[in-house]
Structure formats: structure tokens, C-alpha cells
């Protein structure tokens, strides 16, 4: 390892070799986080590997990493830009057009309405009422409306967000997504035993998938109710995740037009990785790859996203002091969105199901 550090500090060495210490450090730490996330006792909590990677990366970033920063920064910064985008593209192998067909038009309309209404509500509440900066609002809105930490991570390069803003957004969706894991089974029991709402297991599965933040949290909440609710919730959630790509393209186009209309000509990067995400999901719809290959690709993708979350995009670049300085407003925004997901989500699910039944 010492020889790697010497290589990293020598500017006459090939750039790839100078990145090696940081990449090796990231890989070793991330493998440890993935092993931890795979433990049954940890997996049962529904936190997910990305969340654990972010938390672990933040702890390392505020303790051990400052001593290694001058050796590892080049590899960490490279991973922030490249491993993240590749991980989002490969995420498309988890989805297919068959997921849309499984839920029908009502499931697609529900997910689209929940995404749109939640994100627009985040923009209004965050900017107008709470006075938060645009990047924090966009990240919290994306995490609440789509798929938690993965959506925050994917949105960050589109809005050019710093590590501190990303960490704040991830923290909020983790908190309320974890609460949702335990709350939704209680809501289902209340609805069924009290006969308050005309709701079926499939309808409640769509409700979970369209309103709960993280994929792992959706699985945990649905599993606590019944296998039928769990399966429907996962399919609904996958459909909601598929909307991430068009969301990123629309957001990138909006920011590009807004920037070009101001005196400050700072070009916004178009999220081409979102196009790759759609292309991969379309390719996956043909089922040309064997299941064993897909399992391997998904494992590689988990590693890439966790590396980006733990070291490149969040963890080691995050300072807890900056998170503390953000105050209670980001948490309040996430709380208001959480209330909307529960109450407004129930109304949208019941309304669209009745309308398109």
C-alpha cells in the first residue's frame, strides 16, 4: 500500500496508476459495507447497501480519510464522475417493459402522478416556504418522489450538487423511509380490520410501491403484510424507478434552459447516462441474457453504486459539520413530503384505481 501511495504522489506516473490508491481504498471499504448489508440481521432492517455505504463512508470521511486524502483524492474524484454514471446505466438491468405490463395503465399513471406531484410540491415548499437552496430541494424532492438514495445519487451530477447536499438529502429519505417500513403494515391492518377503505392486497401493494422511498424499504414493508402485497409492491416500485430516466432528462433540460436565459452562462451537463439507463432497460426486456449473467451484472452494479455512494459521491467528501449547519429545514421539507406521500398517495391511488377500474 505504501508503494501505491508513492506512485500516487508522483505526477510523472501514468494518470491511471495515480488513481489506483484511491480506487483500491474505495473498493476495499465498499466490499466490507456490502458484506455487512448482506447479514440477515442488517438486511431485515431494510436500510439497503447504499444507505449503509453512505453512513460508513461518512464515518470514515470524518475520521480516517483526512490522513489519506492527499494519496487517495485523485481516485476518489475520478470515481465520483465515472463509476456513478456507469452504475446508473447498469441499474437498467433490474427493469424491463414487462414490469409496466404487469401493473397496467393504472399503475403507470399512479407512479407518474406521485412522482410529479411530490417533486413539484418539494420545489414549492422548499423554495417558497422554507427558503432552501435549489440543489438541496431538487435532491430531497427526487429522493422522496422516486427511489430514495439511488435517486439522490443519480440526480446529483445533473444539478451539480456537492457531497454535503447529497448527504443531507440521503439522510432525510433514510429517516422517513425507515419510519414507513413500520408504519405501512399498521395502516394496512387498520384499513382491513376497521373496514375503513375498500382496499385489496394488490391495491395496497401498489400504494406501498408508489409512495415508500427505498426499494429495500418497500420489500420490508410488503413482506410484513403478505407475499401478494410484497410482490405487487416490488413491481410498482420498479416501475417508479424506471421513471428516473425521463425525470433526469426533463430536469436537465429545464436547468439548461434556465441557465441559458440568465447572464451566467454555465452549461449544464445533459444526463446522457439516463439515456443509457433506458437503453439497457429496453435491451433487458428481450431477456437475451441468462439469469446467471444478470445476477453477476447486478452484483457489479451494487458494487459500483456503493463505491460511488460511500466514497466518491457522498461519504468521504462529506463533513458532518456542514450537515449540522444545514439545520432543521431539510428535515422539515422531507417530513412534509412524507405526509403527502401517505395522505396524498392514498387519495391518488384510490382515485385512479376507481377511475380506470
Cell 403494515 belongs to: 185
Spatial neighbors of 40 by CB under 8 A, at least 6 apart, are: none
Residue with cell 418522489: 145
Q: How far apart are CA 267 and CA 270, in angstroms?
A: 9
> Per-residue pLDDT for 207 more than 90?
yes
The string of pLDDT tens digits covering residues 256-304 is 887 666 555 555 555 677 778 888 888 988 989 999 999 999 888 888 8
pLDDT for the residue numbered 2: 47
Predicted local distance difference test score (pLDDT) of residue 313 = 43
Report which of residues 73 and 321 the model is more confident about: 73
* Predicted pLDDT of residue 332: 93
Q: Cβ neighbours of residue 62 under 8 Å, at least 6 residues apart?
A: 318, 319, 320
Reported as a single tens digit per residue, the pLDDT across 119-177 is: 999 999 999 999 898 999 999 999 999 988 788 888 888 888 876 788 788 878 878 88
Instruction: Give me the chain's average pLDDT, please.
Output: 80
157 by Cβ neighbours in 10 Å (0-12 / 13-18 / 19+) ranks as buried
The region of weakest confidence among 14-18, 199-203, 226-230 is: 14-18
Query: Is the overall model pTM greater than 0.85, yes or no?
Result: no
Tell me the C-alpha to C-alpha distance, in Å, between residue 15 and each of 7, 19, 84. Answer: 10, 6, 19
The string of pLDDT tens digits covering residues 241-267 is 888 888 988 998 888 887 666 555 555
Cα dist from 251 to 44, 95, 120, whole Å: 34, 22, 12
Distance CA 221, CA 304 (A): 26
Q: What is the pLDDT of residues 310-340, one digit of tens each?
A: 654 455 555 555 556 667 899 899 999 999 9
Q: At what angle do helices 65-90 and 49-61 cross, to 10 degrees?
A: 160
Asked if residues 158 and 277 have their Cβ atoms less than 8 Å apart, the reply is: no
Which pLDDT does position 309 carry in this prediction?
66
Q: Which helix (H) or strand (E) holds 314?
A: none
Amino acid at each position: 500500500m505504501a508503494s501505491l501511495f508513492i506512485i500516487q504522489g508522483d505526477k510523472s506516473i501514468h494518470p491511471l496508476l495515480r488513481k489506483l490508491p484511491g480506487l483500491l481504498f474505495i473498493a476495499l471499504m465498499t466490499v466490507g459495507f456490502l458484506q455487512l448489508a448482506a447479514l440477515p440481521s442488517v438486511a431485515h432492517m431494510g436500510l439497503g447497501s447504499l444507505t449503509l455505504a453512505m453512513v460508513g463512508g461518512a464515518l470514515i470521511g470524518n475520521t480516517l480519510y483526512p490522513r489519506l486524502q492527499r494519496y487517495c483524492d485523485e481516485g476518489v474524484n475520478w470515481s465520483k464522475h465515472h463509476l456513478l454514471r456507469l452504475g446508473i446505466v447498469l441499474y437498467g438491468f433490474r427493469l424491463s417493459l414487462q414490469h409496466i405490463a404487469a401493473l397496467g395503465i393504472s399503475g403507470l399513471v399512479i407512479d407518474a402522478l406521485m412522482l410529479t406531484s411530490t417533486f413539484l410540491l418539494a420545489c414549492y415548499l422548499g423554495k417558497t416556504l422554507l427558503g432552501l437552496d435549489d440543489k438541496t430541494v431538487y435532491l430531497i424532492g427526487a429522493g422522496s418522489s422516486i427511489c430514495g438514495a439511488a435517486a439522490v445519487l443519480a440526480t446529483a451530477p445533473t444539478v451539480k450538487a456537492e457531497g454535503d447536499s447529497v448527504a443531507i438529502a440521503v439522510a432525510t429519505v433514510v429517516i422517513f423511509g425507515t419510519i414507513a417500513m413500520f408504519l405501512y403494515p399498521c395502516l394496512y391492518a387498520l384499513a382491513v380490520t376497521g373496514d375503513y377503505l375498500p382496499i385489496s392486497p394488490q391495491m395496497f401493494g401498489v400504494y406501498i410501491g408508489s409512495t415508500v422511498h427505498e426499494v429495500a424499504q418497500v420489500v420490508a414493508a410488503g413482506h410484513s403484510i403478505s407475499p401478494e402485497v410484497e410482490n405487487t409492491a416490488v413491481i410498482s416500485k420498479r416501475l417508479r424507478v424506471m421513471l428516473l430516466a425521463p425525470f433526469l432528462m426533463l430536469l436537465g433540460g429545464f436547468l439548461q434552459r434556465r441557465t441559458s436565459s440568465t447572464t451566467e452562462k454555465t452549461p449544464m451537463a445533459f444526463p446522457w447516462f439516463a439515456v443509457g439507463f433506458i437503453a439497457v432497460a429496453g435491451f433487458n426486456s428481450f431477456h437475451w441474457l441468462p439469469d446467471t449473467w444478470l445476477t453477476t451484472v447486478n452484483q457489479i452494479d451494487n458494487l459500483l453504486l456503493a463505491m460511488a455512494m460511500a466514497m466518491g459521491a457522498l461519504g468521504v467528501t462529506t463533513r458532518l459539520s456542514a450537515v449540522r449547519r444545514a439545520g432543521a429545514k431539510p428535515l422539515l421539507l422531507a417530513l412534509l413530503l412524507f405526509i403527502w406521500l401517505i395522505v396524498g398517495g392514498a387519495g391518488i391511488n384510490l382515485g385512479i384505481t376507481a377511475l380506470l377500474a
